Amino acid sequence: MNQPVGTFCLVLHSHLPWLPHHGSWPVGEEWLYQAWAHSYLPVVELLQRFADDGHRDVLTLGVTPVLAAQLDDPYALRAFHDWLGLWRLRTEYAAGRWRGGDPLLSELAAAEYRAAARALAEFESRWRHGFSPVLRSLVDSRVIELLGGPATHPFQPLLRQPVREFALRTGLADTELRVGYRPEGIWAPECGFAPGMERDYAAAGVRRFLVDGPALRGDTHAARPVGGSDVVCFGRDLEVTYRVWSPKAGYPGNAAYRDFHTYDHPSGLKPARVTGKHVPPEHKKPYDPGLAAAAVRRHAKDFVDVVVARVRDLQERHGKPGLVVAAYDTELFGHWWYEGPAWLETVLRTLPEAGVRVTTLRGALAAGHLGTPVELPASSWGSGKDWRVWDGAQVSDLVDGGAAIQDELLALPATALRDPVLDQTVREALLALSSDWAFMVTKDSAADYARRRAKVHGERFAELAALVRAGDRDRARSRAAELRAEDGPFGHLDARGIPALRGSRLPCVS
């Protein structure tokens, strides 16, 4: 490739809240296993093909510590293996139901069977020891740049300083334990930022993070040092990002693509294509893979054209090659948008042919895409680009509850020795503080489940905290062990990492 007209960075954000042992259908473990089968497996396969072809710095992959913990969890691994086997059985049932009917449905059943069998084989050969060995191979081959984040994906601007620092350091340490690499970049949960957080990042060894484009007033053509620090932020280019997935439109809603919401309930498969925005499920047409493949080609070409036009415009405006950062949830590709992985691979292979450098955030800095310092405002990637999704009136009870949990946590008796009771108390607090619960309530997406999860973890925290304050060691140890069997991510978590809980005022009694 000659001198590139600009640089394109794709950032994928992989995240689900802690789900094992907390319900199954329609929200709960099923959510995890669907995303695992339909997004994480195919995206990893895609990246392995790029690695096998000798490509480096293809994309930036964020994996939240709480998701990584689930993809390594022995219980979740066993349950997912069962789920994959059931998926294959469901395809066999669908083949019998649809035999002799519409040939498109018969072909769909056969294609689903092949997909399920392939996923089973891939899981049993590459994933049987969890995600970490798979992820480490991608990191070691440098086909990706890995982003980390705070442990349970809390909305950081609403955290007390010691809790915020602890959540981030625990998350970074967890990633390092799993893959042997401490990320230099993070996906800040919900792209949430408060002025001064760059100092927290610098102290934790974080050198780069993501914000949404409006935090930079749309000027996302280069990475920018934040405040007086050496930490840089990259802004998501909404003009390009929304071409794929926007609040109102985007490629996945095309009539030819497989419809996410329409189920054949006896088999659990999705047999229809979108057909039309206002077409009821019973009138949607059967999925046609030929139509979908043609749409993938059209939309890949359109996206490449959009990126090329954008970087050329930036080059004209700034007098040097521009940078485009497009960022999406990994779960969009395959889970929400069935054809997403095929589109993604086509785009990543086509952009260099169009004269655009494809690289990671790390690679963009190496290519010189660094601008002048900026003072960032309070921001997020949520509605209004402020904090309203996570601290609005609709979730004021969750906000007040989260603040009370933090205050109570920081007032607990300190210990000089490692204390599994305090560790589990902190673990439940962090799970209660997950940003997902407020997001789901504000967006009315399984809001009852989200409120229940926040309540469950808050109550478990309060129960353990009361036992700690009362000095009831036997009951506290017994209850903490019971809870860890359900909520056991981050086995290395040490409550003494929170300064308020580190000391000799109340040594642990073994």
Catalytic residues: 190, 329
Phi/psi at 115 (nearest 5 deg)?
Answer: -65, -45
| DSSP labels, 240-276 | HHHHHS-SS--GGGSTTSBPSS--BTTTTB--BB---
Exposure string of 132-151, with b = 16+ CB inside 10 Å and e = fewer, is bebbebbbebebbbbbbbbb
As given in the structure block, the two tokens for residue 181 are 């690499």
Q: Is the peptide bond before 17 cis (omega within 30 degrees of 0)?
A: no
**Cβ(191)–Cβ(153) below 8 Å:** no
Please state at what angle helix 396-410 crosses helix 435-442, rounded to 10 degrees: 170
| 224-225/232-236 β-pairing | antiparallel
- The H or E element that residue 478 is part of is helix 473-486
Q: DSSP readout, 420-469? A: HHHHHHHHHHHHHTBHHHHHHHHTTSSHHHHHHHHHHHHHHHHHHHHHHH
Question: Tokens in use for 366?
Answer: 């190496």
Distance between CA atoms of residues 293 and 299, nearest Å = 10
Coil, strand or helix at 180 = coil
3-state secondary structure 159-173: CCHHHHHHHHHHHHH
Amino acid in the structure at residue 59: L
| 54: alpha, beta or left? (left if phi > 0; alpha if psi -120 to 50) | left
